[in-house]
Structure 1
Amino acid sequence: MSEIQFGLDEQDEKTVTLQFKRYVSGISCKEYYGNVVGLYDEFDELDNFDGDAISGQKLSKSHSGNNARVNQPLQRGGRDGGPLNQRQNLKLSYGLRDWKNENSVKKMRSRDLQRATVRSLDLYSAENDGREQSMDEKFTQGRFRKLSDELDFDEKWFPLIDYLSSFGLKESHFAYMYERHMPCLQINVASAQERLEFLLSVGVKHKDIKKILLRQPQILEYTVENNLKAHVAFLASIGIPDSRVGQIIAAAPSLLSYNVEHSLKPTVRYLIEEVGIKGTDISKVVQLSPQILVQRIDNSWTSRYGFLSKELGASRENIVKMVAKHPQLLHYSIEDGILPRINFLRSIGMRNSEILKVLTSLTQVLSLSLEGNLRPKYLYLVNELRNEVKSLTKYPTYLSLSLDQRIRPRHRFLVSLKKAPKGPFPLSSLVPTDERFCRRAGTSVDEYLAFRQDLLLKDFANKYERK
């Protein structure tokens, strides 16, 4: 791939090249479901809209209001559990400098604090990979002594720390786990190994163990026979394929802390009996949003059902279809997420009946960024493709396609071949695979891909110059 030449120095050229590679690869296009369990089709852009549609609901109770947890009533701090006790101020070397001030910690939502902390830890580790790669892969006595001096780590913990370091955990991660749930570091290394080996055996990836331990360190305390096997059996009982069990656990490790009989099964019954999800669809719903098993859904279902039925005149059948296709709907804030997107569709001339048709067909629209996604696609639809808004009711999939990777390249390519119609551009030509699109256009896939790459390169160069 040719690099962009602007007369920049070597470092700038490397930066530009890296940015362009990320730009053309569409890295951000599939972030919406996360990188663990997203069941999106090949046309979805699935942009993340920075969480503005996600409500701040805690994950502490089942739908019935019970907090039935296994083994013991574990305190929850952050998104998936465990208290955040500020017993000691961690030094900057542990990557937690943003939360040194205890008052600022209290002001942050616990979920946001955990997410930001984990990101900070990962960034810190990435910055120090070069230094740490030169050291022995095993956790050295010197590095453990540093933790011991700073946080009073017991010498008896060293074998466990040494073992867990094989999953990529570093000093900063152990410091975080200590502050989050110190008892997890007192586990016998043989017991920890048995539990983590079991998770690996059911499909959890080695690289996901670190993330799981940071989100739910209590997992080290859960026994295989009395806890882990029961939860894996539960997932199998609701139709989760063996190949997906590990991904479900990695996406929502806190489900292992909920009692199967008193929490998880009642949640599934509520989805079937109260919400109206078909029993045969439960597996798909859980794979799309594993968090639905550990979030209180009675209030979220009632409020969103009432809002959509009143705001759009949606029937229960329509709303159930939306939840089955996109269960994340139950987690989106009405005021900050759902309503602004409905109002946007109204602002471009869509009636409530048309909005309902679009949302029933493509509920993911409620997850897309207004300014970074929906508005640019609308402007391209009317200004470049010369289509009317009502065409979206027939082809709502248009809103899920990438403007840079799919819509603009195909339109411009047909224009370059002089095969684009003079009137409204047919949105149906944007949906098929590249192979079918090129076959209809009477050209080769290689020719189209080369055109698209050149177009992306020019667009990127223009954006870079403007910056």
Structure 2
Amino acid sequence: MVPFSLCPSSSYPPPPSFKLYHKSRFTVTTLSSLCGRKRRSGSSCRLVVLSTHSNPKILKSNRRSRYGQPLSPYDQDDDEEVSRASDVSDDDWLLNDDFAEISEFDVNRKRSKSHKGFANGHSDGRNSKHTLEKSNAANYYSSSNQTNDVSSLDVPRKGKLSTRKAMEDRFPRLSEEVELDEKWLPLIDYLSSFGLKESHFIQMYERHMPSLQINVCSAKERLEYLLSVGVKQRDVRRMLLRQPQILEYTVENNLKSHVAFLMSLGIPSSRVGQIIAAAPSLFSYSVENSLKPTVRYLVEEVGIKEKDLGKVVQLSPQILVQRIDISWNTRLNFLSKEIGAPRDSIVKMVKKHPQFLHYSIDDGLLPRINFLRSIGMCNADILKVLTSLTQVLSLSLEENLKPKYKYLVNELHNEVHSLTKYPMYLSLSLDQRIRPRHRFLLSLKKAPKGPFPLSSLVPTDECFCQQWAGTSLDKYLDFRQRLLLKEFAKKYERKG
């Protein structure tokens, strides 16, 4: 059996004005042989590198560089990990972006510099003719006299790279992997100020090599514009790893028009930067031929009201860059047949949690619906829970839903029907809210007899202390902290 790769073709046609139905065309690339990570003399093979915008937490890509590092960790920050000590669970397990991109390189020799055209599948057909219009001539290949000017630019750097020797000393692996041109050095030096490291430049090269040939002046202009509309400096690195082509998009003919489009949907200017950081690939889609038809489909076919568009896009920016017709119709048909959900209820789910349009039916929606059935819910109860709290479809079964249900029955002495009245229970953190409040009232001997009231879990900590515990907030927070440390110690002992 010959391994093959199935990816959307780069000649993907733009959707019609009102409906996006069309036949997809695919390019099948066969792999005649598989190569190990170590180089073998005298042999050569072609390896197809697939790069997608799907969340690696679900796809769990095993692609690694020859140094053993993941090749597309665009949702990972190796220098910074943001931890949230929140009472509300938030473990969306899929944020799908758009389609696959494909590029090729020779694993036995240094990667070829003679890439013609663009590796991604967005630049042909879905983007306006002005998206990259001046990049090819003015930015990819700077003349020698431009290079002298670029090298003397006053841009923020940790250390100026003025010679190839300095580059090789600073990035030995990059120099080994790529035949570097000295004209690239100012750009690499500038991008280093955003926290990009040697492995990141290799990833950018593998994903889209021309992005490293951009004139540093042009790159600086474009990134400074994105920063001016609200993109955080700490998000620039992740954006470039996901969508290095963003360095090629001109301010006047691409970036500004896309920002204006987002604001026309009713998105506040304070949120535009967050949306761009979450879905940087939207710049590779034509506003007129792709983004606006997607919005029209949401309004005319799905049934989202125009006044709710801004809210929906803020909740799930990826909705703008996915095949919304396929996503909507497959989930509409599935929920209608599986639990008898009427169309209006499914529209409400989209408004509350549009992320569920990205979730896999077989691996996401169906297992959670089956779990709710297994604990005794009928289809009507399941529909009520999903309509009230669509976020349930994003919660982990093993780490979230099952432990909460066991605690509900065994510790709180409630029955499953209580979840139809308080579906919010399933979204609350077991460690941060449910267990601490239950144990705190037990310690004060204020827990009512019989089923524990789930309504006591809904209000804020301050209201809970006033209405249910009758004590100070500091006393409760101190109790919760000690309980968390105790539970952590138990888990550590079990692992040991």
Matches within 5 A, 1:82-93: none
Residue equivalent to 1:144:
167
Question: Does the CA contact (< 8 Å) of 2:15 and 2:289 recur in 1?
Answer: no
1:247–1:106: structure 2 CA closer, same or farther, 3 Å change rule?
Answer: closer
* In 2, Cα distance between equivalents of 1:416 and 1:432: 20
User: For 1:123-272, what aligned pairs fall within 5 Å after superposition?
Assistant: 137-138=158-159, 140=161, 141=163, 142=165, 144-145=167-168, 146=172, 147-272=174-299
Shift of 1:453: 0.8
In structure 2, C-alpha distance between the alignment counterparts of 1:59 and 1:143, rounded to whole Å: 40
AA at the equivalent of 1:457: L
Picking from 464, 470, 473, the partner of 1:445 is: 473
Q: Find the partner of 1:396 among 420, 423, 432.
A: 423
Q: Aligned partner of 1:137: which letter? A: K
Distance in 1 between the 2:343 and 2:47 partners? 43
Match of 1:117 in 2: 71
Number of matched residues? 378
CA gap 1:62/1:249 in 2 versus in 1, 3 angstroms: farther
Name the structure with the higher strand share.
2
Q: Name which one, 1 or 2, has greater alpha-carbon Rg.
A: 2
Distance 1:383 1:219 in 2: 53
User: In the alignment, which residue of structure 2 is the partner of 1:463?
Assistant: 491
The CA distance in 2 between the partners of 1:409 and 1:262, in whole Å, is: 52
Which residue is equivalent to 2:85?
Answer: none
Q: CA deviation at 1:119?
A: 3.0
User: Residue 357 of structure 1: CA displacement?
Assistant: 0.3
More helix, by proportion: 1
Distance 2:490 2:450 in 1: 29
- The TM-score, its normalising length taken from structure 2, stands at 0.71
Shift of 1:376: 0.7
Q: Confirm or deny: 8 A CA contact 1:121 1:172 kept in the other structure.
A: no
TM-score w.r.t. the length of structure 1 is 0.75
Q: Deviations over 1:238-283 (max 9, x none)?
A: 0111001111000000000100000000000000100011111111
- Give the partner amino acid of 1:119: P
Provide the residue aligned with 1:323 in structure 2.
350
The CA deviation at 1:172 is 1.3
SS in structure 1 at match of 2:414: coil
Q: Is 1:339 aligned to residue 366 of structure 2?
A: yes
Cα offset, 1:454, TM superposition: 0.9
Structure 1 distance, partners of 2:74, 2:332, is 37
Structure 1 counterpart of 2:15: 64
Distance, in Å, in 2 between the alignment partners of 1:290 and 1:344 is 29
State the AA in 2 paired with 1:161: I
Quickly say closer, same or farther: Cα 1:123–1:301, change in 2 above 3 A: closer
> Do the aligned partners of 1:59 and 1:295 also contact (CA within 8 Å) in 2?
no
CA–CA distance in 1 between the matches of 2:476 and 2:75? 42
Alignment pair present for 1:296 and 2:330: no
Residue 117 of structure 1: SS of its match in structure 2?
A: coil
Shift of 1:117: 2.2
> Is the Cα–Cα contact under 8 Å of residues 143 and 171 in structure 1 kept in the other structure?
no
Which of 326, 341, 352 is the matching residue for 1:314?
A: 341
The one-character-per-residue Cα deviations of 1:17-47 (angstroms, maximum 9, x if unpaired) are xxxxxxxxxxxxxxxxxxxxxxxxxxxxxxx
Q: Is 2:441 aligned against 1:414? A: yes
Q: Secondary structure at the match of 1:235?
A: helix
Measured in 1, the distance between the counterparts of 2:197 and 2:53 equals: 23
Structure 1: segments with no counterpart, 5+ residues: 1-55, 67-74, 77-87, 93-100, 127-135
Higher relative contact order (CA 8 A, sep 6+): 1
Contact 1:62 1:263 in 2 (8 A): no
Counterparts of 2:376 and 2:278 in 1: how far apart (Å)? 38
Equivalent pair of 2:413/2:451 in contact (CA under 8 Å): yes
Q: What displacement does 1:150 show?
A: 3.5
Q: Is the partner of 1:119 in helix, strand or coil? A: coil
Query: What is the one-letter code of the residue matched to 2:15?
Result: S
- Determine the structure 1 residue equivalent to 2:412: 385
Q: Distance in 2 between matches of 1:241 and 1:456?
A: 38
CA RMSD of aligned residues (A): 3.2
8 Å Cα contact 2:262/2:272 also seen in 1: yes
Distance 1:91 1:237 in 2: 51
Note closer, same or farther for the CA distance 1:413–1:190 as it changes in structure 2 (3 Å cut): same
Structure 1 residues 226 and 187, CA, compared in 2 at 3 Å: closer, same or farther?
A: same
- Preserved contact between residue 235 and residue 245 of structure 1 (Cα < 8 Å): yes
Instruction: Give the conservation status (yes or no) of the 8 Å contact 1:322–1:360.
Output: yes
Q: 1:439 to 1:125 in 2, by over 3 A?
A: closer
Change (3 A) 1:294 1:184: same
8 Å Cα contact 1:62/1:295 also seen in 2: no
Taking the aligned partners of 2:359 and 2:342, their CA distance within structure 1 comes to: 19
CA contact (8 A) 2:14 2:289 kept: no
Unaligned 5+ runs, structure 2: 1-5, 18-25, 28-34, 65-69, 81-156
Shift of 1:102: 7.9
Determine the C-alpha separation between the residues in 2 that align with 1:346 and 1:178.
48
Separation (CA, whole Å) in 1 of partners of 2:366 and 2:378: 14
**Deviations 1:65-104, CA, capped at 9 Å, x for gaps:** 89xxxxxxxx99xxxxxxxxxxx99999xxxxxxxx9899
